[in-house]
Amino acid sequence: MIKLITRFGKDQSGATAIEYGLIAGLIAVAIIGAVQLIGADLAAYFNNIATTLTPPAASS
C-alpha cells in the first residue's frame, strides 16, 4: 500500500493537460467578468449614438 501511494505521488502524467485546462478556465472567467463589467456601459454608449443620429429625409 505504501508503494502505491508513493508511486501515485511521483506520477506526473497528465499534469500539463490539467495545468492548461486550469489556465483556460481562468482566462474564460476573466473574459466573462470583463464583458459583464463593460457590457452595460457599451450598451448605453451605442444607445446614445443611436438616439443622436437622425434618420434620412424621406424623398417623394
Which grid cell is 43? 450598451
Confirm whether 13 is domain-assigned. no
Confirm whether 58 is domain-assigned. no
pTM as predicted:
0.54
- Give how many domains the chain has, as a whole number: 1
> Whole-angstrom Cα distance, residue 24 to residue 13?
19
> Whole-angstrom Cα distance, residue 37 to residue 42?
9
Q: pLDDT by residue for the chain (60 residues), tens digit each?
A: 888 888 877 777 777 888 999 999 999 999 999 998 898 888 889 989 988 887 776 766
Q: The domain containing residue 45 runs over which residues?
A: 18-50
HSE-CB at 13 with a 13 A cutoff on CA atoms is 3
Phi, psi of 46 (to 5 degrees): -70, -35
Residue 52 amino acid letter? T
